[in-house]
Structure 1
């Protein structure tokens, strides 16, 4: 009979499949070697015990994960800066649009005042002409 390697993979137990002891929710199992499967139930506390089991750490995977996290942070930072820039630009554009609106409003007000002044001048001239008109004839 072939020896089972001392390499175990951790799986979690479904609630419906739990053993007689509900605290045993972890199942280390060995890979299928020559049709032999080996597994046992343990509680999560044993899996944290350094004397019981030690995880196999792939350094390249850890470095890749760290690099990916750093890239995600950088992407989030750039997105935030871009959104702030767009927000500031919109606020600035809105300010200039408001200034343009104010300028248009001022022009309209000025034109209206000039029109009222011309109207008042015309009315004044109309009142003055009839009085001056017959005297000159």
Structure 2
């Protein structure tokens, strides 16, 4: 029996909770081997315990990177929405100003305000780009903990899993032996 010490973290449905292997509290987290030979329910608190298991380093780094990217994408979307709202308000203000200017028909003032508005638009666009760049850089620098999905059990717990599987196989073999009548001795056939 060769069982690798690699365990993938999975979640089950809320109504499929079972007792944790360690503390017997109901949990929806499961650790399962890649070949689906063994699994057990475990609390998420135990997954963060260094005495129980260790996360795969590459997987932990990849999970953190995914979390950072998701947060950065959300921040960028928020910045874009804010920028669009500001632009919409400015357009409305411009239309109102344009109506007033049409009434006054003062061409010199129009040209000056257009130039100043164009400069403001350029400044706003620069600010938006700067903020997006800043957010992307801060996302790369920030380290956000996202639970890894691949774990390695400590040697004692791994040995317990191996012993449990070995005992289950022995019990199955013994049941099969007891159910097979050819394994029992036959009664004596000659009389004394």
Which TM class, normalised by the smaller chain length?
Answer: 0.5 to 0.7
Aligned to 1:4: 3
Report whether the alignment pairs 1:70 with 2:91.
no
Aligned to 1:25: 28
Q: Where does structure 2 lack aligned partners over 5 or more consecutive residues? A: 105-192
Q: CA deviation at 1:42?
A: 1.7
Greater relative contact order, per chain length (Cα 8 Å cut-off, separation 6+): 2
Output the aligned Cα RMSD: 3.1
Partner SS state of residue 4, structure 1: coil
Structure 2 CA distance for partners of 1:19 and 1:77, relative to 1, 3 Å: closer
Aligned to 1:89: 91
Number of equivalenced pairs: 99
CA distance in 2, matches of 1:61, 1:19: 26
Structure 2 CA distance for partners of 1:25 and 1:63, relative to 1, 3 Å: closer
Q: Where does structure 1 lack aligned partners over 5 or more consecutive residues? A: 104-137
Cα deviation, 1:7-46, whole Å, max 9, x if unaligned, reads 10111233443335552332101011xxx61111222221
CA distance in 1, matches of 2:97, 2:91: 10
Contact 2:16–2:28 under 8 Å retained in 1: no
- In the superposition, the TM-score normalised over structure 2's length comes to 0.40
Cα deviation, 1:66-106, whole Å, max 9, x if unaligned, reads 35643553453244224312311221211321453x56xxx
Question: Larger Rg: 1 or 2?
Answer: 1
- In the superposition, the TM-score normalised over structure 1's length comes to 0.53
